[in-house]
């Protein structure tokens, strides 16, 4: 898998991502569909095998990365 491909995949349609030793970092960005009440926006994420539980964040934390 090329680095360019990894930078442009749609996670909604990708059941599995395998990283090689050359690709040891993964980055996710969140986006809400409606921003009219920004203070009510919440995101949740979990990386199975790494995070013990879902992590909940507000609108100010739209980016996460794992090394």
What are 14-64's pLDDT values in tens digits?
A: 777 777 788 778 888 888 887 788 888 889 999 888 999 999 998 888 889
Provide the token pair at 5: 């491909």
| DSSP classification of residue 35 | -
State residue 9's pLDDT score.
Answer: 67
DSSP letter string, 6-55:
HTT--GGG-S-----TT---EEEE---S--TTGGG--EEE--TTT-SS-E
pTM of structure: 0.67
């Amino acid at each position: 898998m090329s680095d360019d491909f990894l930078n442009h995949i749609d996670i909604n349609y990708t059941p599995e991502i395998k990283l090689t030793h050359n690709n040891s970092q993964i980055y996710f960005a969140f986006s809400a569909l409606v921003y009219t009440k920004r203070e009510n926006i919440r995101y949740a994420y979990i990386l199975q095998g790494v995070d013990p539980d879902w992590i909940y964040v507000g609108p100010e934390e739209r980016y996460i990365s794992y090394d």
